[in-house]
Copies of this chain bind each other. A is one copy, B any other.
């Protein structure tokens, strides 16, 4: 995936938040553009930057965008429902499937 930051010369949202230099090798930059800081701060709040970096580094580059999207999805539900997160949705879907 092409680095999006190169066009703006801005550090990515993760590096900006973490106050560090955003290099060409930054594992966050393709998925956390500077114009959406909330996406990173939310993911960092739930999973922590170091865990996300570790996960991304363990994945093939072609899988990283899907991984970030699924993390962001889990985060969205966890922030909305701190007790059950997206597991609440799984319960609802499983219940609906049993009913049909």
A residues with a Cβ closer than 8 A to B are 45-48, 50-51, 55, 58-59, 63, 66-67, 70-71, 73-74, 82-90, 93-94, 96-97, 100
Contact = CB atoms under 8 A, between A and B. Distances in A.
B93 A97 contact: yes
Contact of A83 (B50, B63, B88): B63
Contacts of A100: 97, 100
Majority-rule SS of A interface residues: helix
A51 B47 contact: yes
Given A47-B51, A51-B48, A87 B86 contact: yes
27 contacts: A46-B47, A47-B51, A48-B48, A58-B82, A59-B83, A63-B82, A63-B83, A66-B84, A67-B83, A67-B84, A70-B83, A70-B84, A70-B85, A70-B87, A70-B88, A71-B85, A73-B87, A73-B90, A74-B74, A74-B85, A74-B86, A74-B87, A89-B90, A90-B93, A93-B93, A97-B97, A100-B100
